[in-house]
Chains A and B, each alone.
Chain A
Amino acid sequence: MNKILSKQRLSQEVFRMSIHAPEIAEARSPGQFIILQMGGDFGERIPLTIADADAEEGSITLIFQAVGETTHRLALLEVGDSIENLLGPLGTPTDIKKYGKVVCVGGGIGVAPLFPIVEGMKRAGNEVKVIMGARNESLLIMEEEMRATADEVIVVTDDGSYGRKALVTEPLKELCEEWKPDCVVIIGPPIMMKFAALTTKPFGIHTIVSLNTIMIDGTGMCGGCRVNIGGETKFACVDGPEFDGHLVDWDNLLLRLGTYKPQEEVAHHRCHIGLEIPEGDA
């Protein structure tokens, strides 16, 4: 049952795990996610995007940042341990087809779910350029994989510790002006997606974003993940998680993401006392 087959530490807080889940591996497409739950009755359900899958081996790959209590607990599991509950694949797959020229923009941990989309877009015959950003060098992940797959990779860091010192929006704007892509895919922190989508808007370029909202069941039952898309309410879990970035009501999304902020601050404090992740290969 959902045994962990391999585990690597990609950076201080970021981990890659391959997990035995044959049915999900067979059914999933790029852009889809899983929900996992652990810790018995009191555990929470959290959504994580599937970073990769191997249908033959019957495994899926998750890349996650240990930020909350559940991801901390997950990071403490070792090869051979099992994840109690794993549901997927959820959501609708990315609309991968031949657009022509595609820019894929990843911020922080968002680079992980972006990777299968880059692969998919290449396979569909697109020319693909990747912009990947992080706060600093130590938080950059999957650069090698990206370089091996995309036609060009532009790396930016907020502090200039690696690559270009810039936000992703700078090179994105330049590409929009000079390279004129037909489609832009953006995955990252919501505030980054908001400004990246605003960057492509004046150019009228089709822009896809992947929204990581609050979720419980992931099947459309609770409606906690609802978002305003072009004035209509949609459920990120079943209608998304990907939407037209130019139609998203970003301010409402950001407000809704802060629903449990007071409670989360307490929980975050708690998980940093009780769940120290031992140093390992970063």
Chain B
Amino acid sequence: MHVSREELDKKAKAILEEYENKDISPRQRAQIPLQEMPAQDPQVRVTNMEEVALGYTENQVRAEALRCLQCKNKPCIKGCPVGIDIPAFIAAAAKGEHAQALSIIKESSSLPAICGRVCPQESQCQLYCTVGKVLKDVEQSVSIGRIERYVSDYARENKCETMPKVAPETGKRVAVVGTGPAGISAAMDLRRRGHTVVMFEALHKAGGVLVYGIPEFRLPKKIVEHELQNLKDMGVTIRRNYLVGKTRKISDIMGKDGFDAVFVGSGAGLPRFMGIEGENYVGVFSANEYLTRSNLMKAYAVGDALTPLFDSKKVAVFGGGNVAMDAARTAKRLGAEEVSIIYRRTDIEMPARREEVAHAKEEGVKFLYLHAPLEITANEKGRVNGVSLIECELGEPDASGRRSPVEIPGSEKMFDCDTVIIAIGNTSNPLIKATTDGIEVNRWGNFIVNDETCETTLKGVYAGGDIVLGAATVILAMGQGRKAAKAMNEYLLTK
């Protein structure tokens, strides 16, 4: 049953009246009910592209912050890839000091408004939360991400963000390749240290996966634009329509153009396909293509956008990660009558954020577990008309620690659909490797870097994010960007 933001706010207000500014025991704190995230009504939101999660109200954020036990050993911090002082910012939020809370977060993270929305908190900070442990349910942990989002949005909307200070110019010049989360965080930290920073973006819009991949309904683009504007205000130059490796090679950027160091955060931009028959039929898309059409090219605005959309009635999405959820939910919004996520394992093995899975289900996306595709079939015009599937059961755990799917012989069946979206991950784009001598990659094509410094095998060239990690998360990419920036700063000052 959908509960409105007003009702949730009323309940939160009652909690505050009972507990706020009182001496309450940890036991009582853990008993305060978790504040649900207000959301657009599922019936309504499948007809628009606007953000689904509406964000806490002021009463809710303070009520949720009251649930934090302020543990002495701060277990949540070890779950955060960038080590944010979580109890400290929650304490500030509890007092309504949101600008202060944001300053605490920004000591460790450059993109809180984004991470508050897209981090998989249940497998990071919230996994270690004592409240969740006491209540024996990780979904009952303190909603750290939602509080992070609130204070970031509050500071942005009320214009009380503290802008990072830029140190006096060092005269050193750094090129940042890619304007996604890794590049943004590296650029921000390098600029703070007084270096000249030029970012290079291949597409006509900056933001990387935050713009072409993650849909508007999950991450409004105005938030990404705001972060990019902050970078520009600090003096960072962003050059769009510039494909490093093609427009110019890294050797020329460091030679002819005189950059002292390069950070490569070019992402994992090469979609994986399943390697089955029929993958090139009309109506088969990589999730990258499907999402890029809708997000970057605004194809959802039929009539205004020149980029066309495929007319889908029945859609099959393969994969179980956030990208699969994004693609399925986008397909729903673009008017598909029936959308199914087909996954080889079961619900609990799906790597997607829990909230995205829940939202997808609320929006009517169907889930077919324990099925793997064998072949995509098409009609006489080469247009997709179905997928042949085989049932699976779970066997022994594989390298990822998840139980691996084992096909059951003789269980083949046909699944009718007119569109297939493949969301089984990306591999590294080989473009920079292919045009740069001295950069070594592993067998998946990911750049080999020093764990401590993120330096590649080519001196002065550093890398982070998906080009190093394979397909990972925004926060991990950001963490690497910051780590690399720290090492690059030291390198530049001694150079």
- On A, residues with C-beta under 8 Å from B are 23-24, 27, 37, 39, 41-45, 69-70, 84-90, 216-217, 219-224, 226-228, 233, 238, 249, 251-252, 255-256, 258-260, 262-264, 267
Q: Which residues of B contact A258 (CB under 8 A)?
A: 282
Chain A minimum-CB-distance residue to B286:
A223
Residue B292 is within 8 A (CB to CB) of chain A in the complex: yes
Chain A minimum-CB-distance residue to B209:
A221
Residue B121 is within 8 A (CB to CB) of chain A in the complex: no
Q: With A43-B306, A220-B429, A223-B286 given, is the CB distance from A88 to B247 under 8 Å?
A: yes
- Within B195-211, the residues touching A (CB, 8 Å) are 202-204
Determine if A224 and B285 form an interchain contact, defined as CB atoms under 8 angstroms apart: yes
Q: How far is the CA of A86 from the CA of B429 in the complex (A)?
A: 21
Q: Say which one of B235-243, B345-353, B402-410 lies at the interface with A.
A: B235-243
Residue tally, chain B, CB below 8 Å to A: 45
Q: Which residues of B contact A264 (CB under 8 A)?
A: 308
Determine if B297 and A216 form an interchain contact, defined as CB atoms under 8 angstroms apart: yes
Other than the known A90-B246, A233-B273, what 5 A-B pairs have Cβ atoms closer than 8 Å?
Answer: A84-B204, A85-B204, A219-B202, A221-B271, A251-B382
Q: With A87-B202, A256-B282 given, is the CB distance from A221 to B247 under 8 Å?
A: no
Chain B minimum-CB-distance residue to A263:
B308
Interchain pairs with CB closer than 8 A, number? 123
Q: How far is the CA of A27 from the CA of B242 in the complex (A)?
A: 12
* Chain B residues touching A, majority SS: loop
Determine if B269 and A221 form an interchain contact, defined as CB atoms under 8 angstroms apart: yes
- Within B365-394, the residues touching A (CB, 8 Å) are 381-383
Q: How far is the CA of A44 from the CA of B202 in the complex (A)?
A: 15
Determine if B286 and A222 form an interchain contact, defined as CB atoms under 8 angstroms apart: yes
28 example contacts (A-B, Cβ-Cβ < 8 A) are as follows A23-B247, A24-B247, A42-B306, A43-B306, A84-B204, A88-B243, A88-B246, A216-B289, A216-B293, A216-B296, A216-B297, A217-B212, A220-B429, A220-B431, A221-B267, A221-B269, A223-B288, A226-B280, A227-B280, A233-B273, A233-B279, A238-B430, A249-B280, A256-B282, A256-B382, A263-B309, A263-B311, A267-B306
Q: Which residues of B contact A228 (CB under 8 A)?
A: 280
Q: How far is the CA of A224 from the CA of B286 in the complex (A)?
A: 8
Q: How far is the CA of A262 from the CA of B312 in the complex (A)?
A: 13
Residue B135 is within 8 A (CB to CB) of chain A in the complex: no
Q: Which residues of B contact A249 (CB under 8 A)?
A: 280
Determine if A89 and B247 form an interchain contact, defined as CB atoms under 8 angstroms apart: yes
Tell me, rounded to whole Å, the shortest Cβ–Cβ distance linking A175 to chain B. 33
Determine if B308 and A260 form an interchain contact, defined as CB atoms under 8 angstroms apart: yes
Determine if A42 and B204 form an interchain contact, defined as CB atoms under 8 angstroms apart: no
Determine if A217 and B202 form an interchain contact, defined as CB atoms under 8 angstroms apart: yes
Residue B310 is within 8 A (CB to CB) of chain A in the complex: yes
Q: How far is the CA of A41 from the CA of B414 in the complex (A)?
A: 40
Tell me, rounded to whole Å, the shortest Cβ–Cβ distance linking B163 to chain A. 27
Q: How far is the CA of A258 from the CA of B246 in the complex (A)?
A: 29
